[in-house]
């Protein structure tokens, strides 16, 4: 089956309250891991997986995001004058990652509502990707690419990225109930958003990468509130179980949750250790502290 998945929705209209006061004026997605914003890492993953159209669901206060993915001729000319040619390439690369579309979510009513805001860009029966950039992933093969392979193998099924967590932590995540298919591949029969550990059907949790079908809008159209009085994406995924089928992949790679302080610091350390220019000195520094 040919890869026809070309669009990715990035819901990035949340408040980022766990990073206040930094996020009073700075979008959480623009916080830097190593040398680029969190959001750019997620867009690079999408682009490497063959996604061509990046749809950002954002708020009117996050204009710096638009500027970051546009070319800045003024900056390029200044760098040219200073003969900084490698830096010119690094600031030109963002706009080449794909075509960018922006939609405003006027109020953060929940992740499900944010995805619904991009409905008009998705065609009937179309399969598309949703990426939560808070989760950044270090992997040999981009995770969205790994999921597209499963999508093809299942004849067009919807696919969620999964990660096992200790049972006591499941209350922070969407959790699946499943029939096991193979070592890292599951057929999903139900989902629960943020269950109490004693009521959780498993310890397999949904990470911020989804391949969904247009059919998911059947439930999102109803704007029904769920956990935390927000419109939840997890609740709407149930509509995909029968048709086209809902599958889960325990992906190959390491995920860092940049939505909280500890995960964000861990991501910076791991991405630093992965960078050949600084890894040796960073190791020395870490030993020292």
Instruction: Compute the least distance from the CB of residue 74 to ligand UTP, in Å.
Output: 29
Pick one of 108, 145, 156, 263: the residue that binds ligand UTP (CB under 6 A): 108
Q: How far is the CB of 109 from ligand UTP (least distance, A)?
A: 5
| Cα(223)–Cα(121) distance, integer angstroms | 18
DSSP for 22-68, written as a single string: GGGTS-GGGSEETTEEHHHHHHHHHHHTT--EEEEEE-TT-HHHHHH
Span of 87-95, 103-111, 165-173, 180-188 interacting with ligand UTP by CB under 6 A: 103-111
For 284, residues 6+ apart whose C-beta sits below 8 A from its C-beta are none
Look at strands 53-58 and 7-11 and give their pairing: parallel
- Taking residue 212's Cβ as centre, other Cβ atoms within 10 Å add up to 26
40 binds ligand UTP (CB under 6 A): no
> Does the protein bind ligand UTP through residue 212 (CB under 6 A)?
no
**Sign of the dihedral through C-alpha 33, 38, 40, 44:** positive
Question: 157 or 257, CB closer to ligand UTP?
Answer: 257
Kindly tell me which residue out of 5, 31, 57, 175 binds ligand UTP, with binding defined by CB under 6 A: 57
Contact with ligand UTP (CB under 6 A) among 1, 15, 75, 89 = 15
| Contact call for residue 55 and ligand UTP (CB under 6 A) | no
State which of positions 121-180 bind ligand UTP (CB under 6 A): 132-134
Of these, 36, 48, 61, 109, which contacts ligand UTP (CB under 6 A)? 109
Residue 267 binds ligand UTP, judged by CB under 6 A: no
Stretch that binds ligand UTP, among 30-38, 40-48, 63-71, 108-116 (CB under 6 A): 108-116
Angle at 50 between CA 232 and CA 87, to 5 degrees: 100
* Dihedral class, residue 245 (left if φ above 0, else alpha if ψ from -120 to 50, else beta): left
Nearest distance from residue 107's CB to ligand UTP, in Å?
A: 7
Distance CA 203, CA 245 (A): 21
Give the span between the Cα atoms of 272 and 280, in whole angstroms.
10
Enumerate binding residues for ligand UTP (CB under 6 A). Answer: 11-18, 28, 57, 105, 108-111, 113-114, 132-134, 259
């Amino acid at each position: 089956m040919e890869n026809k998945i070309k669009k990715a929705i990035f819901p990035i209209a949340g408040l980022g309250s766990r990073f206040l006061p930094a996020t009073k004026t700075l979008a959480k997605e623009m916080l830097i891991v190593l040398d680029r914003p969190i959001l750019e890492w997620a867009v690079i993953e999408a682009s490497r997986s063959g996604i061509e159209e990046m749809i950002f669901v954002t708020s009117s206060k996050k204009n710096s995001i638009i500027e970051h993915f546009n070319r800045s001729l003024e900056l390029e000319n200044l760098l040219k004058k200073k003969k900084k040619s490698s830096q010119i390439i690094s600031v030109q690369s963002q706009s080449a990652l794909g075509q960018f579309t922006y939609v405003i979510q006027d109020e953060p009513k929940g992740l499900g509502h944010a995805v619904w805001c991009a409905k008009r860009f998705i065609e009937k029966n179309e399969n598309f990707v949703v990426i939560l950039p808070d989760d950044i992933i270090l992997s040999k093969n981009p995770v969205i690419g790994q999921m597209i392979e499963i999508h093809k193998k299942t004849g067009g099924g919807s696919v969620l990225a999964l990660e096992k967590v200790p049972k006591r932590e499941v209350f922070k995540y969407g959790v699946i109930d499943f029939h096991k298919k193979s070592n890292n591949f599951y057929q999903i029969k139900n989902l629960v958003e943020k269950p109490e550990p004693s009521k959780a059907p498993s310890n397999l949790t949904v990470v911020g990468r989804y391949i969904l079908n247009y059919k998911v809008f059947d439930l999102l159209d109803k704007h029904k509130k769920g956990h935390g009085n927000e419109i939840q994406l997890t609740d709407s995924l149930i509509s995909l179980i029968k048709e086209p089928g809902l599958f889960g992949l325990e992906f190959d790679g390491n995920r860092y949750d940049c939505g909280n302080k500890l995960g964000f610091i861990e991501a910076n350390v791991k991405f630093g250790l992965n960078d050949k220019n600084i890894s040796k000195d960073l190791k020395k520094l870490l030993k020292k502290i």
